[in-house]
Amino acid sequence: MPARMTEAPLPRLLILDDDADVATAARLLLRRRFSEVMTLQQPGGLLAAIERFKPDLLLLDLNFAPGEADGAHGLTVLRQLAARRDAPAVIAMTAYAEVDLAVQALQLGAVDFVTKPWDNARMVASIAAALARRAPASAAGSPLLGGSPAMQALRAQIASVAPTEANVLILGENGVGKELVAQAVHQASKRTAGPFLAVDMGTLPASTFESELFGHRAGSFTDARQARAGRFQAARGGTLFLDEIGNLPLPQQAKLLTALERRQVTPLGADTPEAVDVRIVSATNLPEAGLFDPQQFRADLLWRLNTIVLRVPPLRDRPDDVLPLAAHYLALYARQHGKPLRGLSEAAAQVLQGHDWPGNVRALRHACERASILATGSVLQPEDFALPLHAVAAVEGKAPLHLARRERDAVAAALAQAQGNISQAAKLLGVSRAALYRRLEKHGL
């Protein structure tokens, strides 16, 4: 019997374009993907419209007046939105060849840009990607799904830890939901009206580490034309989420430690330090043995960060969570991609639950997105999730061996490995090129 699924609400779209025809064309193209579409021709009412209408996405023409081309108005709007917590994701629209303008829009926080006149497929893809990226944040409030005993215990820990000011270290494999846990801590904390700012410590270049985190004054180094606040200042009154903390090289660990010990930071080029008012939540997928190895991680920094440790268990250790998560994401993607909502066959449910999910919830989410886009039947089958063959075989046990399907999988795998090179794929499979062509035809590959 197909599993029941919860309905995810359709997102809302706001279009700001001074050309009524363009706004109408966009509305007609996109209205099936949104519960409501609102159009504005003047920027004056934009902030009020955002408060009232609460759009998930804003399609923003950067040039408001006919003939205008410098995009100054649109960039001003983007700057205003950057300061707001309720700002929608923004896709900027520019005239053809305004590449510099598009780049500036992206730097100011737009998630993508499309050039006018747009290509419908490109516009739809851009919108789908923007909404997908926004999905975890917009689930804020009750985003941490899963009723397994492990998740219930984790939620209880979050509830008791969040209202304190204690620093929290979140441990768990890739994709288990550490960032969602960090957001949940912030949302249940006394700082919930302040910002939640995530910084990926693994990718901060060593050369700009201090400027990124602590800020800089104008002229403090060659490229520092304007003063800039660091993440510590930007997160003031809120929570600073230091992700991938285990990847921070030792020299940067020392700088971070100093800031945390003194609870103040000195922007590059400044004479006086500034007090820090942030709660630190950090996360790593490093195994605990690695964290406790002083060659990799300073014990004194660890001691500052891990006042409270929250462990998020891998998905394979909480199989009860798999089907509710799958149902949630299948419903979400069915909506987002305008596909019919499909249930899971018994076999698919078993395969999903029995899989060991090395990529955890992120991988399950991707598998659900793929299935909701590519599946053709009314009920989802194991193969729609494109899991490695052994996962399907392990659960099917004594079920028929599905020779045709395995042959198709083997051919597809060989083609992928050979990067589409037919001769090489044929060699990998131990068949002639002609035999491979026959199979490609047979399986519609």
Ligand X SMILES: Nc1ncnc2c1ncn2[C@@H]1O[C@H](COP(=O)(O)OP(=O)(O)OP(=O)(O)O)[C@@H](O)[C@H]1O
Give the residues lining the site for ligand X (CB under 6 A): 136, 143-146, 172, 174-180, 243, 285, 325, 361-362, 365
Q: Which is nearer to ligand X, 143 or 269 (CB)?
A: 143
DSSP structure string for 8-20: PPPPEEEEE-S-H
In the complex, the smallest distance separating the C-beta of residue 53 from ligand X, rounded to whole angstroms, is 25
Residue 286's CB: how many other CB atoms inside 10 A? 17
Q: Which is nearer to ligand X, 355 or 439 (CB)?
A: 355
C-alpha torsion sign, points 273, 274, 278, 284: negative
Q: Which amino acid is at 295?
A: Q
Distances (CA, A) of 181 to 196, 283, 365: 12, 10, 17
Distances (CA, A) of 127 to 29, 40, 113, 120, 238: 11, 18, 10, 11, 30
**Residue 58: enclosing H or E segment and its boundaries?**
strand 57-61
In the complex, the smallest distance separating the C-beta of residue 42 from ligand X, rounded to whole angstroms, is 36
In the complex, the smallest distance separating the C-beta of residue 3 from ligand X, rounded to whole angstroms, is 16
In the complex, the smallest distance separating the C-beta of residue 368 from ligand X, rounded to whole angstroms, is 11
Residue 184's CB: how many other CB atoms inside 10 A? 22
In the complex, the smallest distance separating the C-beta of residue 364 from ligand X, rounded to whole angstroms, is 8
Q: Which is nearer to ligand X, 145 or 166 (CB)?
A: 145
DSSP state of 382: G
In the complex, the smallest distance separating the C-beta of residue 342 from ligand X, rounded to whole angstroms, is 20
Q: Which amino acid is at 138?
A: S
Q: Which is nearer to ligand X, 178 or 279 (CB)?
A: 178
Q: Which is nearer to ligand X, 76 or 174 (CB)?
A: 174
- The Cα 409–Cα 71 span in angstroms is 50
In the complex, the smallest distance separating the C-beta of residue 321 from ligand X, rounded to whole angstroms, is 7
Cβ-contact 241, 284 below 8 angstroms: no
Q: Which is nearer to ligand X, 137 or 270 (CB)?
A: 137
**Which residue's structure tokens are 């108005």?**
73
Q: Which is nearer to ligand X, 109 or 143 (CB)?
A: 143
In the complex, the smallest distance separating the C-beta of residue 315 from ligand X, rounded to whole angstroms, is 8
Q: Which is nearer to ligand X, 186 or 439 (CB)?
A: 186
Closest residue to ligand X: CB criterion:
177
- The Cα 371–Cα 369 span in angstroms is 5
Alpha helical stretches, state H, 147-298:
149-161, 178-187, 209-214, 231-234, 250-262, 288-291
Q: Which is nearer to ligand X, 43 or 177 (CB)?
A: 177
In the complex, the smallest distance separating the C-beta of residue 126 from ligand X, rounded to whole angstroms, is 19
Closest CA to 197 of 276, 98, 304, 314: 276
Can you read off the two tokens belonging to residue 65? 């007046």
Q: Which is nearer to ligand X, 126 or 285 (CB)?
A: 285
Cβ-contact 314, 173 below 8 angstroms: yes
Contacts of 385 by beta carbon, 8 Å cutoff, 6+ apart: 348, 351, 352, 367, 368, 370, 371
Closest CA to 338 of 112, 30, 130, 120: 30
In the complex, the smallest distance separating the C-beta of residue 5 from ligand X, rounded to whole angstroms, is 14
Q: Which is nearer to ligand X, 30 or 364 (CB)?
A: 364
In the complex, the smallest distance separating the C-beta of residue 55 from ligand X, rounded to whole angstroms, is 21
